[in-house]
Amino acid sequence: MRGSPVLRFVASVLVWLPLAFVVWYFAAPLLLWPVKLAVEAVALLGFGDLVRAVEQHGAVVTFATTLKPGEARVAGGVIAVDVNLLLYSFGMPLYAALVGAAREPGWPRRLLLGCAAMIPFIVWGVVADFLKHVAITSGPLVASQTGFVAWQRELIAFAFQFGSLILPTVVPAIAWVLGHRDFLDRLRSAR
């Protein structure tokens, strides 16, 4: 392809994106298993009074809570919260497309390291989604059982927005730039 190296790179990314998204979507249960383990650790260590267990079913994690569906705190049902991991991990195929388009030596290592670096940020989004559900959107009867006060609910809302809107797109871009500085220098000098 003739023309600007930047345009060639962008075209290559656009070719890689569909493939990366297909692989990510169908391999999500396996690719996101480390995320589930990290989510489970954070939930049980940080919110053990609210969370009994975290289970993965495909690309969805389910938080089994200690919260009751209403005021009655007698034996009976408890609240379970499902969070779709795909909503917070779509940066992985974006990062994979960028790595594939760069065609740099050692790309498997770069791909693995970049995806591993994204795990804490995916966990942030998933845990914030869970907390938003139990502390804000589940209604006052359930939210009152969490013990969160107004400023904590505001912090949860901020964490959710940041984890769902900013982190999934910005973190892969930053990870790619940090791992491909030489490529970017060559791209810049080829103009």
pLDDT tens across the length of the chain (191 residues)? 567 888 999 999 999 999 999 999 999 999 999 999 999 999 999 999 999 999 999 999 999 999 988 655 555 568 899 999 999 999 999 999 999 999 999 999 999 999 999 999 999 999 999 999 999 998 888 888 899 999 999 999 999 999 999 999 999 999 999 999 999 888 888 76
Residue 2: the pLDDT is 64
> 64-72 long-range contacts, Cβ below 8 Å, gap at least 24?
65/134, 67/134, 67/138, 67/142, 67/145, 67/146, 68/142, 68/145, 69/141, 69/142, 70/141, 70/142, 71/141
Residue 101: the pLDDT is 95
| Residue in 134, 155, 156 with CA at minimum distance from that of residue 146 | 134
Residues 6+ positions from 89 with CB-CB distance below 8 Å: 24, 28, 31, 32, 35, 118, 122, 168
* Residue type (1 letter), 66: T
Neighbours of 24 (CB within 10 A): 23
Neighbours of 32 (CB within 10 A): 25
| Residue in 5, 163, 8 with CA at minimum distance from that of residue 91 | 163
pTM of the complete model? 0.91
Residue 70: the pLDDT is 67
